[in-house]
Amino acid sequence: MIAFLSCIACSLTAQTQTTPKKGGQKVTDGSKKINDKTREYSETSLEASENIKQSADNLKAVANNIKGVVMIFEPITRLHFFKKKNKSQSSGPSSNQTAKSFEGNNNNEENAPPPPPGENQYEEGSTGNNQNENTGTAGNYGSPENSNYNADGTMNCGHQHNALYGNCINLLQGQVIGMGEAADNPGNIDLIFFSQYDGSSFSLYSPYEAANGLNEGNWAGIGKWRDRNETEIAQTKLTIGQFEKIQTNSQLMNVVRNTTGFSGYFFTPNKMDGRVFAVKLMQDNREVNALLAVYTQYGGGGTNGYLKIKIKVQGFDQNQDGYADPAAYNR
């Protein structure tokens, strides 16, 4: 009997000991599952955070890309031509009222024309898929607002003796005005065209340089202007055909950066037909990066001498909406 009771007691003791052991195992397993879930949620949150950051970086890259390919500003054709209507309608109001001064391109770089090659690599046969209206044949620009502008998209710029066209160039507005009118708003003048030595030499001067080192400048009173822009100019290696193909900021700035020999003036004893110039101005109140192409030069030092020019200006886009911001040029 004693042995029998001892066996029962041992059995009860064993059962009592194993029950807490199984409960402890369940607690351990539950804790492990909680830790695994916590780790899973943590990893998911981290992955989501990384995805959000990547999305933000992608949006920023897209915005910068839009800014990079925003179309250059062609002030002559954008501001001084009546836009064409279809054949059944008459000419509309001035482009100053009906057309945006700046054109945007929201496509990526793959859809933009390829930028020009670097210095010493410009080729006459280079191609570009140019869909801009300003690169068509004569007549695709609409009707010029006055005789300063031509149907082929060029503007007439005289020298200081020209009796019809002014010789002071406002690059941002695509305007030429005479010395007298320029003196009223000298801060808008970027370049001045001169015929020198009885028409045997020609030059493009910044107002600052003209006031300090040019007899004609002193004669015209430029030294008395309250503002004189310190514009820099240099001849590029571009041909007129290559100039026509430049349509984005990145292309234009590639040319400006690869051009050397900038100075406050350009002087030549020869005519300027077919020359393309890079022009830049960086001041606290005005910033310009531009290309100026001389299509034809007429006459010499007489009253009929003038240039037919086109201008392309970098299109600033401070708010990154794909459109150039006019207020960014003058501050």
Number of CB atoms found within 10 A of residue 265's CB: 20
Report which residue type is found at 258. Answer: N
3-state DSSP helix/strand/coil % of the chain, to nearest 5: 40, 20, 40
Question: Is the model's pLDDT at 327 over the cut of 50?
Answer: yes
CA angle 282, 287, 290 (to 5 degrees): 100
What pLDDT is attached to residue 212?
Answer: 80
On whether residue 322 sits in a domain, the answer given is yes
Domain assignment of residue 116, given as a range:
75-123+137-328
**Looking at the predicted structure, is the pLDDT value of residue 88 above 50?**
no
pLDDT given for residue 61 in this prediction: 52
Note whether residue 189 is domain-resident: yes
Range in 102-106, 147-151, 294-298 with the lowest mean pLDDT: 102-106
Mean pLDDT of the chain: 76
Tell whether pTM > 0.75. no
298-310 pLDDT, tens digit each: 998 889 999 999 9
Q: What is the rounded CA–CA span in Å between residue 314 and residue 70?
A: 9
**CB-CB neighbours of 85 under 10 Å:** 12
| Residue-level pLDDT at 34 | 67
Using 50, 70 and 90 to split pLDDT, how confident is the model at 142?
Answer: confident
Residue 279 DSSP label: E
Asked whether the beta carbons of 128 and 245 are under 8 A apart, the reply is yes
Mean pLDDT, residues 26-35: 64
**Residue 25 maps to a domain:** no
Higher per-residue confidence, 91 vs 58: 58
Question: In this predicted structure, what is the pLDDT of residue 66?
Answer: 55
Could you give the number of structural domains in the chain? 1
Picking from 279, 121, 115, the residue whose alpha carbon sits closest to that of residue 190 is 279
Assigned domain for 15 exists: no
- Asked if residue 48 is part of any domain, the answer here is no
314/42: higher pLDDT: 314
> Which backbone phi and psi does 193 adopt, to 5 degrees?
-95, 130
- pLDDT score at 109: 35
Task: Tell me, yes or no, whether 57 lies in a domain.
Answer: no
Q: Which of 191, 196, 276 is nearest to 242 (CA)?
A: 276
Is the model more confident about 88 or about 258? 258
Confidence check: pLDDT of 106 > 90: no
pLDDT at 15: 54
Determine, yes or no, domain membership for 36: no
State yes or no: pLDDT of 185 exceeds 70: yes
**Strand-pair partners of 282:** 287
- Cβ-Cβ contacts under 8 Å for 231 (sequence gap 6 or more): 190, 191, 206, 207, 208, 264, 279, 280, 281, 288
Query: What does DSSP say about strands 175-177 and 201-205: parallel, antiparallel, or unpaired?
Result: unpaired
Determine, yes or no, domain membership for 309: yes
The predicted model gives 22-50 an average pLDDT of 66
Query: In terms of DSSP H, where are the helices of the chain?
Result: 2-69, 75-79, 95-98, 179-182, 207-213, 215-220, 240-245, 249-258
Tokens coding 281: 């101005």
Sign, CA dihedral 19-23-28-32, equals positive
Confidence category of residue 11, pLDDT binned at 50, 70, 90: low
What is d(CA 12, CA 324) in angstroms, rounded to the nearest whole number? 90
Query: Do the Cβ atoms of 94 and 82 come closer than 8 Å?
Result: yes
Tell me: the pLDDT tens digits for 235-286?
A: 999 999 999 999 999 999 999 999 999 999 999 999 999 999 999 999 988 9
Q: Which amino acid appears at position 279 of this protein?
A: V
pLDDT of residue 240: 97
Query: What pLDDT score does 94 carry?
Result: 37
Looking at the predicted structure, is the pLDDT value of residue 119 above 50? no
Kindly report which listed range (76-85, 151-160, 181-190, 233-242) carries the lowest average pLDDT score. 76-85
Q: Are 166 and 182 within 8 A, CB to CB? A: yes
Check residue 17 and give its pLDDT: 52
**3 state DSSP class of 21:** helix
Residue 328 tokens read as 């960014």
Q: What per-residue confidence (pLDDT) applies to 321?
A: 77
